[in-house]
Structure 1
């Protein structure tokens, strides 16, 4: 048993030390935001941009265009009639929602993909999509920008697949097996820091990086505390949604973040009543 523990400890050290060094030195490889998504985000900030301009950009990326049309026609966005053109999709969704969808598609296709870990990342994406949808509802209740809150919820765990990819590369190059329990432990430990760096790298606002960084430590978030609290509650509600679908959980009413957000019991009830809409939004992103 002691020999087994020694070997396990050695293997863990061979993996964790290089990972920690990459994170501390800022050498962890971060996925690049695809060009079309980056162009759309920049265009949405341009006061001279119009729906036709954005439709032309989408035409250059058939995969993104297809996803935008699919989401625009989903139950979550409830079109009165089928959305059949990109111009119609842009006007139906609105610029801010289009940016959110572009980031979502980029995350699912480029970040939440690590060979050999498909099942884990599929579950993680499902959780992230639910968190994004819940954050949207929380922000709507607090009269905050719903699309920014959505991105915070969607990206709150984005550091996890980045860390998993780095660990897979380190394990492969060193010839050490990567145990699932160790990968999950280190993903939990470092995902806030790594996720915040990716948010910044993708050109999103500093307060969003703060919300992602401190969603497990909301008391340390400083000026970003409101965003961190909304993101934290969205995270809890996403966990509850998945667990309660199997009859395994009660709603997170007593967590300190509920009081910190100024939510009363009846407020939480009103939010929970939006579960069907939240699940529809999550499914639209999957």
Structure 2
């Protein structure tokens, strides 16, 4: 069957897996999903968050390790989950839960493990830069961080679909890469829907290269800009080597799409320089986590 995969029909065959009613991607951690739902309740309390996190000791421990990192620790150390919620805020802790949950791995793909790890690294950097973008242009970035974490989930999702087709006979990455790259944006949106995420997430991750003029366009623009800027830190997505031994680029944000995103957020050269400068202070710390 691998021969039939390496054809123009591959795109539709891969997407057909996602559209099959019987197909279910690996689930996101239940605590993360419950915390996301809790964050939308106006009457949620710090004790509710702590009680939920304590249901997963490993996840809670990883959150506390992230809290203790230079990114979040500030001048005085945070020593408890409750203190983290009170000092950092409910939604920041929610974002941290998704970060550590996704870093632990959702897609178990031994055949493509290096690529999945690379995409996860890129997505984490994109999420943090997207938060900077939203703060700088003063837009509501409530969903931006998690969208940054998930915007390229389609890469892993499509590779998971390949293993679903082929099992132990999965084709080499170089045979699939062009089609996986071409489809990853669409696949990310489908995954977000299958995971039961809110419409805002589905729309943003499914259109992070091609903006739509809807209520989520500004957050999508922030993801697009962050995606492009991640390249300057060596955190972009690259595929297998071509015949000349050069790694094949992927997840490329064109100059046209970048300028459209800048215009959507009214980011002039000075503002862009400010975003880049702040990212230069933060991203090295992320890459060491």
The TM-score range, normalised by the shorter chain, is 0.7 to 0.9
**Higher fraction of helix:** 1
Secondary structure at the aligned position of 1:111 is classed as: coil
Cα–Cα, structure 1 residues 48 and 99, in superposed 2: closer, same or farther, change >3 Å? same
- The equivalent residue for 1:270 is 274
Q: How does 1:13-162 map to 2 (within 5 A)?
A: 13=7, 18-25=13-20, 28-162=23-157
Alpha-carbon separation, structure 1, partners of 2:31 and 2:102: 13
- The equivalent residue for 1:179 is 172
Alpha-carbon separation, structure 2, partners of 1:44 and 1:8: 44
Cα–Cα, structure 1 residues 42 and 211, in superposed 2: closer, same or farther, change >3 Å? closer
Cα–Cα, structure 1 residues 258 and 44, in superposed 2: closer, same or farther, change >3 Å? closer
**Alignment size in residue pairs:** 270
Cα displacement (A) at 1:280: 5.1
Aligned: 1:237 with 2:229: yes
Cα displacement (A) at 1:17: 5.7
Select between 197-206 and 81-90 the one with higher mean Cα deviation. Answer: 197-206
Aligned: 1:193 with 2:186: yes
On the 8 A contact 2:2/2:166 being kept in 1, the answer is: no
Cα–Cα, structure 1 residues 253 and 160, in superposed 2: closer, same or farther, change >3 Å? closer
- The equivalent residue for 1:214 is 207
- The equivalent residue for 1:165 is 160
Select between 261-270 and 10-19 the one with higher mean Cα deviation. Answer: 10-19
Alpha-carbon separation, structure 2, partners of 1:29 and 1:11: 21
Cα–Cα, structure 1 residues 217 and 107, in superposed 2: closer, same or farther, change >3 Å? same
RMSD value, Cα: 2.8
Cα–Cα, structure 1 residues 264 and 132, in superposed 2: closer, same or farther, change >3 Å? same
On the 8 A contact 1:211/1:227 being kept in 2, the answer is: yes
Greater Rg by CA:
1
Aligned: 1:282 with 2:286: yes
Alpha-carbon separation, structure 2, partners of 1:17 and 1:94: 43
Alpha-carbon separation, structure 2, partners of 1:123 and 1:194: 18
Alpha-carbon separation, structure 2, partners of 1:281 and 1:200: 32
Alpha-carbon separation, structure 1, partners of 2:225 and 2:160: 27
Cα–Cα, structure 1 residues 26 and 279, in superposed 2: closer, same or farther, change >3 Å? farther
Alpha-carbon separation, structure 1, partners of 2:49 and 2:112: 35
On the 8 A contact 1:40/1:99 being kept in 2, the answer is: yes
Cα displacement (A) at 1:29: 2.5
Alpha-carbon separation, structure 2, partners of 1:166 and 1:23: 8
